[in-house]
Structure 1
Amino acid sequence: MRLRRTRGRDPLGLRRVLSDRLLPALAASMALLAALALAGARGAADLAARWEGGAATALTVQMPHGARADRALAALAAMPEVGEARLADQARLAALLRPWLGEAPAIPLPSVIELRLARLPPDPAALAQRIAQAVPGATVEAHGVWVARLLALARSLQAVALAALLLVAGIATAVVTVAVRAGIAARRNAIDILHELGATDGDIAGRFARRVALLVGLGALGGTLAAAPVLAGFADLAAPLLGGAAAMRVQDLPWARLPWAELALLPPAAAAIGWLTAQVTLRLWLRRLP
């Protein structure tokens, strides 16, 4: 015997035993945490990519007094690791040093060459030493050491965020399992009767699974929507670190920086977890029936 799937019929009384308040609320909480973990992983990945492609490939070379900048530029541009070499603007240097040296510095400002490397060197210290040899007396400021530490930190944060996402999925599975077991305990007699009348395991498990998937999916949708403004605020705070422009373009708005593709997957993924968990829990329990 197959259970009739007429709209509005609830032969197992699942609307009473599987609450439409508690389970969606728990699913919303899990979705909120999952959204934060996803955004954290995405933000850490973006920071790592920006640091690796930006500050890690930038060096500054301070020329000694009296050195010819044109010769130094030619020597540095000839190095295979250097993608671009240019003389820093003296007006910009004066503006940067004005808080410490005042409007009219008593000492002449040094000549500074800004380098942009073609690729991230495997050994930044060795490259800095070669640059110092190519330009005798120059002082090289390489950012590779602290950028490498920042990259390690960003990748560690990304790994922690992904681990937190897996933990949230595990907790959600446990919550659904407990809810389904409670529903089984409350409707055991009805399940036994229907099972003895010939209802298949697939019919009974399907009823539970559809109800759980609906509740969990709706709860996850609410939690994801609640997380969106929080993540938009975080994106606005992180914009300077990611190179956000001051102009209010569409791509610079906080809402545009959210990982919408990943967030859109949360409700269906939560519903799928609820459906699969309910199916497995019910079928394992039904196998033990005589």
Structure 2
Amino acid sequence: MAEARLRRPRGRDPLGLRRALSARLLSGLVAAMALLAALAIAGAGGAAGLAARWEGGAAAAMTVQLPAAAAADGRLPRALEALAEMPEVAAARPMDQARLAALLRPWLGEAPALPLPVVIELRLAELPEEPALLATRIAAAVPGAAVEAHGVWVARLLALARSLEAVALAALLLVAGIAVTVVAVAVRAGIAARRDAIALLHDLGATDADIAGRFAARAAWLVGAGGLLGTLLAVPVLAGFANLAAPLLGTAPGTGWQGLPWARLPWPELAALPPLAAALGWATAQATVRRWLRRLP
């Protein structure tokens, strides 16, 4: 009979779980944790994107600068030939003067007073362990050239980006652990509040699956709702951060609400957060209630 009562329509609440499991408290805490989880997911994805971009830029980790007259007096072709013979250099090409002027415009203005030097971009076969030594060899092969060896900074930026990615993933695992703890504590509080009713129904024949299922359904609903709320709150925050990070990814930041980089957000991961939170709440409630029920005589 007790089992039949527990299986009555959804509107019934024989265990009084609507009062035992507070919707505002549990959903609010989970919403805050979902917001943090969304930030951690976006942070890990952003760090991975930066690492990929910087790693790709490591292939062009050096530049060779020649005087402005090098293009006219034949030194540029000789320099390109000498660089092509070096095994470490995969490709060498002169930088377009218009692009160079655009890069220097913030410092030199629209019309530089001095002629711009000739800059050769090197695409290396791999990032050298000692960029300074390679720069010395290039300077010896191309007389009069100034070599910028910024590969060491690329390597440091890669290490930084990968460290940030690892920290973001660790933060995500920490948030998940805290969420499990919060749900378990809330369920235990609900059990304590309805202990007599649960024990009575259990003695009358209600199965562990029925009782744990009621708690799990209530917890999944509250945790899922909190996860959805936290995810929705995270979306505009992440869009703002993505807009701030746009220059680092080689794009211009947008202006206004419509100009935010909405397409760059990790939409699949964000969409998965609420159902994953609900599943986590359901599993935690099931495990917590069943563990308590096993202790009953």
Give the match's secondary structure for 1:182.
helix
Which residue pairs with 2:35 in the alignment? 32
Change (3 A) 1:150 1:29: same
Which residue pairs with 1:44 in the alignment? 47
Q: Which amino acid aligns with 2:168?
A: A
Q: Which amino acid aligns with 1:8?
A: G
Count of matched residue pairs? 285
Is 2:166 aligned against 1:159? yes
Q: CA deviation at 1:189?
A: 0.5
Q: CA deviation at 1:98?
A: 8.6
Question: 1:41, 1:157 within 8 Å by CA — same for their partners in 2?
Answer: yes
Is 2:206 aligned against 1:206? no
Which residue pairs with 1:111 in the alignment? 118
Which residue pairs with 2:139 in the alignment? 132
Question: 1:56, 1:147 within 8 Å by CA — same for their partners in 2?
Answer: no
Q: CA deviation at 1:92?
A: 5.3
Which residue pairs with 1:62 in the alignment? 65
> 2: distance between equivalents of 1:271 and 1:255?
25
Q: Which amino acid aligns with 1:39?
A: A
Which residue pairs with 2:262 in the alignment? 255
Q: CA deviation at 1:277?
A: 0.8
> 1: distance between equivalents of 2:52 and 2:265?
17
Q: Which amino acid aligns with 1:162?
A: L
Q: CA deviation at 1:126?
A: 3.8
Is 2:273 aligned against 1:266? yes
Question: 2:188, 2:288 within 8 Å by CA — same for their partners in 1?
Answer: yes
Which residue pairs with 1:149 in the alignment? 156
Give the match's secondary structure for 1:269.
helix
Change (3 A) 1:144 1:271: same
Which residue pairs with 1:8 in the alignment? 11
Question: 1:56, 1:143 within 8 Å by CA — same for their partners in 2?
Answer: no
- Any unmatched runs of 5+ in structure 1? none
Is 2:285 aligned against 1:282? no
For 1:185-264, what aligned pairs fall within 5 Å after superposition? 185-245=192-252, 253-264=260-271
Change (3 A) 1:90 1:177: closer
Which residue pairs with 2:79 in the alignment? 72
Question: 1:213, 1:275 within 8 Å by CA — same for their partners in 2?
Answer: yes
Give the match's secondary structure for 1:244.
coil
Using structure 1 for the length normalisation, give the TM-score: 0.89
Q: Which amino acid aligns with 2:34?
A: A
Question: 2:239, 2:261 within 8 Å by CA — same for their partners in 1?
Answer: yes
1:28-83 CA-to-partner distances (Å, cap 9, x unmatched) read 11100100111111111111111110155331112367771101101212334433
Q: Which amino acid aligns with 1:26?
A: L
Q: CA deviation at 1:22?
A: 1.3
Query: RMSD value over aligned CA atoms?
Result: 2.5
Question: 2:61, 2:127 within 8 Å by CA — same for their partners in 1?
Answer: no
Using structure 2 for the length normalisation, give the TM-score: 0.87
Give the match's secondary structure for 1:136.
coil
Q: CA deviation at 1:167?
A: 1.0
Q: CA deviation at 1:179?
A: 0.5
Q: Which amino acid aligns with 1:16?
A: R
Question: 1:76, 1:131 within 8 Å by CA — same for their partners in 2?
Answer: yes
Question: 1:57, 1:119 within 8 Å by CA — same for their partners in 2?
Answer: no
Percent identity over the alignment is 74
Q: CA deviation at 1:272?
A: 1.2
- Any unmatched runs of 5+ in structure 2? none
> 2: distance between equivalents of 1:130 and 1:219?
60
> 2: distance between equivalents of 1:178 and 1:36?
25
> 1: distance between equivalents of 2:50 and 2:137?
29
Change (3 A) 1:94 1:35: closer
Change (3 A) 1:91 1:201: closer
Give the match's secondary structure for 2:172.
helix
> 2: distance between equivalents of 1:171 and 1:246?
35
Change (3 A) 1:90 1:211: closer
Change (3 A) 1:158 1:91: closer
Change (3 A) 1:186 1:259: same
